[in-house]
Amino acid sequence: MPVSPETRDRLTAILSQLVRTGRHVTSRAAAQLYGDLPSFGWPLLVPLERDGDQRCSALAAHAGVDISVASRQLAALERSGYVVRRPDPNDGRASLLSLTDAGAEALAAARSLRADWALGALAAWDEPDARLLSELLDRLVVDLETAGTAPAAVVRAAVPSPR
Q: Do both 101 and 156 map to the same domain?
A: no
Q: List pLDDT tens digits, range 91-104.
A: 888 899 999 999 99
**Rounded Cα–Cα distance for residues 73 and 146 (Å):** 29
Q: What rounded mean pLDDT belongs to the chain?
A: 85
Cβ-based neighbour number of residue 81 at 10 Å: 13
Whether residue 95 is found in the same domain as residue 84: yes
Same domain (yes/no): 30, 101: yes
* pLDDT for residue 47 is more than 80: yes
Distance separating alpha carbons of residues 12 and 18, to the nearest angstrom: 10
**Residue 106 belongs to a domain with what CATH number?**
1.10.10.10
- What confidence tens digit (pLDDT) does each residue in 16-39 have? 998 888 777 666 665 665 566 777
Of the candidates 37, 47, 102, the residue with the CA atom closest to the CA atom of residue 76? 37
- CA separation for the pair 76, 156 (Å, rounded): 40
Report pLDDT digits (tens) over 122-157: 999 999 999 999 999 999 888 888 887 755 555 455
Same domain (yes/no): 118, 64: yes
Q: Return d(Cα 109, Cα 107) in angstroms, integer.
A: 5
Q: Which of 41, 16, 46 has its CA nearest to residue 31?
A: 41
Q: Give me the domain span that covers residue 76.
A: 23-123
Residue 147 and residue 75 share a domain: no
Per-residue pLDDT, 163:
47
List the end-to-end C-alpha distance of the chain, in Å, as a whole number: 28
Do 119 and 145 lie in one domain? The reply is no
The model scores a pTM over 0.95: no
Radius of gyration, alpha carbons of the chain = 20
Q: Are residues 110 and 79 in the same domain?
A: yes
- The answer to whether position 9 is within a domain reads no
Q: Quick one: 119 and 129 in the same domain?
A: no
> Is residue 98 packed enough to be buried (19+ CB in 10 Å), middle (13-18) or exposed (0-12)?
middle
What CA–CA distance (Å, rounded) separates 8 from 6?
Answer: 5
How many structural domains comprise the chain? 2
